[in-house]
Amino acid sequence: MHLLCSCCLLLLFSVGAQGALETPKATPEHVHLSYPGEPGSMTVTWTTWVPARSEVQFGMQLSGPMPLRAQGTLTTFVDGGVLRRKFYIHRVTLRKLLPGVQYVYRCGSAQGWSRRFRFRALKNGVHWSPRLAVFGDMGADNAKALPRLRRDTQQGMYDAILHVGDFAYNMDEDNARVGDRFMKLIEPVAANLPYMTCPGNHEQRYNFSNYKARFSMPGDNEGLWYSWDLGPAHIISFSTEVYFFLRYGRHLVQKQFRWLERDLQKANQNRAARPWIITMGHRPMYCSNADLDDCTKYESKVRRGLGGKYGLEDLFYKHGVDLQLWAHEHSYERLWPIYNYQVFNGSRQQPYTHPRGPVHIITGSAGCEERLTPFVIRPRPWSAVRVKEYGYTRMNILNGTHLHMQQVSDDQDGKIVDDFWLVRPLHGRTMYL
Ligand SMILES: [Fe+2]
C-alpha cells in the first residue's frame, strides 16, 4: 500500500499539469539581458513556473555580497498550444549603472535564485567603439554558431548581440517546450550580454506571442519595432513580417512605416552626433539564393511594399541608412552598395569608401534544423561575396566614419571568410543624392 503525503500529491498533480520533465518551481530559467534604451540601464528577463517576486540583486564585486537591489514586474503568458502552458515572465530594469563597469547579479526571489551572472554596463555617449555579434536563424537544434559565440562572450569580445529573427524553430513548437530549450541554450550568452532581437517568420504562431512574451525590447511595442542608440550608431529593429502575415493586421504595415519615417527623421536630426544609421529586419530585399523567397523577386514586398506602397528601399535610401542587416536566407551574402538594383560603389578601388547607396549584409547561417540555403549558380552583378557555410558576423563600429565587419565560419573552425571596412564621411550624411 502506498501512502502519499499532501506534498507528494501536490507534486504529482503539478507534474501532470506541466509535463513529465518540468517540476513547477520558482527558480529562474531562461535568464537573459536586453538594453531598454536609456543610458545606464539593463533589463533582466526570466521565467518561473509558479508566481514569485521579481527581484535582482547585483553589485560590482565578483564574489561576496551583492548590495544593490531592483524590483520589477511579473506577467503571465499562456502559450497557444493545446496544453495552454503557463509562464510567469519576470522583468526587472537595473538603473544608474556605471558606464563600462562590470556587474555581478542574480535574479529570483526568496523562493529560488538563479546562479550568478556577469555583465558589463554599456558605455554612455558616442565616443566609444561598440562590438557586436550579428546573426539570424538559429535553432534549438543544429545551432552551429553557439559554442563559439559562448566562447567569444566569455572572452568579453562583444558589447551586444543582434539576433535578426528566427529563433528555436520554433519557440511555439511542442507546446512551447522548444522555446524553453532554446532560451536555456542561449543563456550563457544572453545572460551576460544584451541580446537584441527582431521577429522572423518562425515567430508568427499565435500572433508572435512567444516572441513578444519572452523578449523585452525597448519601447512599448512588444519588440516588434524599436530603435536604440549605441555609441556612434542609431540601430533600428523592425518587423518584415507585417508585410507577410496580414491576418494579424494589415494596418501594421502603415503603422510601422510611419514609425520608421519619424524615427529616421529624428535620427537624421541627430546625425552629427550619431552618424551611423543601421537597420535590422529579418527578410532581405535582395538575395541570390536558389529558392523562391521574397528577396529573389524584383517586386520584393520588403523592397517595394504592398501594391507599390510602404516599400522600404526608397525610405532607407532617402534617409541615408548606412547599413542594412538581414537574415532569413541560411547563408552569408555581402552586397555592393545598392539602390534600385544599381550598384553605387564609392570607387572601383574602394567600393565601400564613400558608397553612394546603402550596404546590405544577409547573415542567416547561425544554424538550424533547416540547414544551409544554396545560391543560384551565377552571382548577381550586385552580389560581392557569398558564403554557404555556418557562421555569424562580427561588427565593430570603430567611430563615426569607420565600421569593420567580419564573417566567421564555423565550418572552418572560426576562420574569417569575409572582412571589409565601411567608410562614410561625417558630413553630408543624410542623403545619398
Ligand atoms: Fe526566416
Q: What is the pLDDT of residue 426?
A: 80
**Mean pLDDT computed over every residue of the chain:** 94
Co-location of 135 and 201 in the same domain? yes
**Residues in contact with 252: Cβ distance below 8 Å, sequence separation at least 6, in sequence order:** 224, 239, 242
Co-location of 151 and 53 in the same domain? no
Lowest mean pLDDT of 63-67, 125-129, 221-225, name the range: 63-67
CA angle 265, 226, 319 (to 5 degrees): 25
Co-location of 304 and 196 in the same domain? yes
Q: What is the pLDDT of residue 11?
A: 39
Q: How far apart are CA 188 and CA 340, in angstroms?
A: 41
Distance from the alpha carbon of residue 58 to the mean position of ligand 1, in angstroms: 37
In a domain, 433, yes or no: no
Q: What average pLDDT does the segment 213-232 reach?
A: 97
Q: What average pLDDT does the segment 175-200 reach?
A: 98
- Which segments of 289-349 are extended strands (E)? 305-306, 309-310, 323-326, 332-335, 338-339, 342-343
Instruction: Name the domain count of the chain.
Output: 2
pLDDT category at 207 given cuts 50, 70, 90 is: very high
Co-location of 326 and 223 in the same domain? yes
Q: What average pLDDT does the segment 310-328 reach?
A: 97
In a domain, 6, yes or no: no
Distance from the alpha carbon of residue 39 to the mean position of ligand 1, in angstroms: 32
pLDDT category at 409 given cuts 50, 70, 90 is: very high
**Domain C-terminal end among 120, 151, 178:** 120
Distance from the alpha carbon of residue 215 to the mean position of ligand 1, in angstroms: 18
Burial of 171 (0-12, 13-18, 19+ CB in 10 A): buried
- CA dihedral sign of residues 171, 225, 186, 86: negative
Report which listed range, 21-25, 61-65, 228-232, is most confident: 228-232
Which set of grid coordinates corresponds to residue 402? 569607420
CA 125, chain centre distance (Å): 22
**Domain C-terminal end among 98, 120, 142:** 120
Distance from the alpha carbon of residue 359 to the mean position of ligand 1, in angstroms: 20
Distance from the alpha carbon of residue 246 to the mean position of ligand 1, in angstroms: 16
Burial of 257 (0-12, 13-18, 19+ CB in 10 A): buried
Q: Provide the CATH number for the domain around residue 89.
A: 2.60.40.380
**Residues in contact with 411: Cβ distance below 8 Å, sequence separation at least 6, in sequence order:** 144, 389, 390, 391
pLDDT digits (tens, 9 = 90+) for 325-340: 999 999 999 999 999 9
Range of the domain at 109: 21-120
Q: What average pLDDT does the segment 410-420 reach?
A: 98
Q: What is the pLDDT of residue 197?
A: 98
pLDDT category at 62 given cuts 50, 70, 90 is: confident
In a domain, 378, yes or no: yes
Cα torsion 231, 233, 234, 240 to 10°: value is: -130
Strands 415-423 and 402-409, bridge-based pairing: antiparallel
Q: What average pLDDT does the segment 5-13 reach?
A: 38
Co-location of 52 and 75 in the same domain? yes
Co-location of 113 and 203 in the same domain? no
Model pTM above 0.85: yes
**Is 237's pLDDT higher than 70?**
yes
Distance from the alpha carbon of residue 241 to the mean position of ligand 1, in angstroms: 9
pLDDT category at 432 given cuts 50, 70, 90 is: confident
Q: What is the pLDDT of residue 357?
A: 96
Q: How far apart are CA 383 and CA 337, in angstroms?
A: 9
In a domain, 191, yes or no: yes
Co-location of 188 and 297 in the same domain? yes
In a domain, 13, yes or no: no
> Which residues neighbour ligand 1 (ion) by CB within 5 Å?
166, 200-201, 328
Q: What is the pLDDT of residue 12?
A: 36
Q: How far apart are CA 108 and CA 106, in angstroms?
A: 7
pLDDT category at 20 given cuts 50, 70, 90 is: very low
Sequential DSSP letters for 128-192:
S--EEEEE--EESSS-TTHHHHHHHHHTT--SEEEE-S-EETTTTHHHHHHHHHHHHHHHHHHTT
Q: What is the pLDDT of residue 16?
A: 39
Distance from the alpha carbon of residue 71 to the mean position of ligand 1, in angstroms: 36
Co-location of 348 and 240 in the same domain? yes
Q: Provide the CATH number for the domain around residue 337.
A: 3.60.21.10
Q: What is the pLDDT of residue 433?
A: 65
Distance from the alpha carbon of residue 330 to the mean position of ligand 1, in angstroms: 8
Co-location of 217 and 331 in the same domain? yes
**Is 27's pLDDT higher than 80?**
yes
pLDDT category at 5 given cuts 50, 70, 90 is: very low
Co-location of 259 and 304 in the same domain? yes
Co-location of 49 and 102 in the same domain? yes
pLDDT digits (tens, 9 = 90+) for 360-377: 999 999 999 999 999 999
Distance from the alpha carbon of residue 313 to the mean position of ligand 1, in angstroms: 19
Distance from the alpha carbon of residue 293 to the mean position of ligand 1, in angstroms: 10
pLDDT digits (tens, 9 = 90+) for 248-264: 999 999 999 999 999 99
In a domain, 1, yes or no: no
In a domain, 237, yes or no: yes
pLDDT category at 8 given cuts 50, 70, 90 is: very low
**Is 15's pLDDT higher than 90?**
no
Co-location of 299 and 326 in the same domain? yes
Distance from the alpha carbon of residue 169 to the mean position of ligand 1, in angstroms: 10
Q: What average pLDDT does the segment 273-279 reach?
A: 97
Q: Is the peptide bond before 207 cis (omega within 30 degrees of 0)?
A: no
Distance from the alpha carbon of residue 166 to the mean position of ligand 1, in angstroms: 5
In a domain, 409, yes or no: yes
